[in-house]
Structure 1
Amino acid sequence: MSNENKKYETAIFAGGCFWCMVSPFDVLDGIVEVKSGYTGGHKENPTYKEVKSQTTGHYEAIRIIYDPSIISYEKLLDVYWRQIDPMDDGGQFHDRGDSYRTAIFYTTEEQRIKAEESKKALEESGRFPEPIVTKILPASTFYLAEEYHQDFYKKSPVEYKADRKISGRDEFIQKYWGDEYYSIYEK
Structure 2
Amino acid sequence: MEKAIFAGGCFWCMVKPFDEQPGIHSVVSGYTAGNTENPTYEEVCSGTTGHIEAVEITFDPNVFPYDKLVDVYWMQIDPTDAGGQFYDRGRSYMPAIFYTTEEQKDKAEASKQALNESGRFAAPIAVQILPAEPFYAAEEYHQQYYRKNKAHYEAYQTGSGRAGFIQKHWGNAE
When the two structures are superposed, what TM-score results if normalisation uses the length of structure 2? 0.98
1:65 alignment partner, SS class: strand
Amino acid at match of 2:171: G
Structure 2 equivalent of residue 138 of structure 1? 131
Structure 1 equivalent of residue 37 of structure 2? 44
Aligned equivalents of 1:82 and 1:164: distance in 2?
Answer: 14
| Matches for 1:4-153 after TM superposition, within 5 Å | 8-153=1-146
Aligned equivalents of 2:43 and 2:125: distance in 1?
Answer: 28
Structure 1, residues 134-154: CA drift from partner, whole Å, max 9, x if none?
000000100000000000010
Aligned equivalents of 2:42 and 2:158: distance in 1?
Answer: 23
Aligned equivalents of 1:74 and 1:133: distance in 2?
Answer: 19
Aligned equivalents of 1:157 and 1:176: distance in 2?
Answer: 24
Structure 1, residues 71-129: CA drift from partner, whole Å, max 9, x if none?
10000000000000011111100011110000000000000000000000000001000
Aligned equivalents of 1:165 and 1:174: distance in 2?
Answer: 11
Aligned equivalents of 1:154 and 1:77: distance in 2?
Answer: 23
Task: Give 4+ residue runs of structure 1 displaced > 2 Å after superposition.
Answer: none
Amino acid at match of 1:137: L
2:48 alignment partner, SS class: coil
Aligned equivalents of 1:56 and 1:128: distance in 2?
Answer: 32
Deviation, structure 1 residue 28: 0.2
Unpaired runs of 5+ in structure 1?
Answer: 1-7, 183-187
Structure 1, residues 157-183: CA drift from partner, whole Å, max 9, x if none?
11111111201001111111124x26x
**Bigger radius of gyration, 1 or 2?**
1
Amino acid at match of 1:61: A
Structure 1 equivalent of residue 155 of structure 2? 162
1:115 alignment partner, SS class: helix
Superposition RMSD in Å: 0.9
Aligned equivalents of 2:170 and 2:28: distance in 1?
Answer: 26
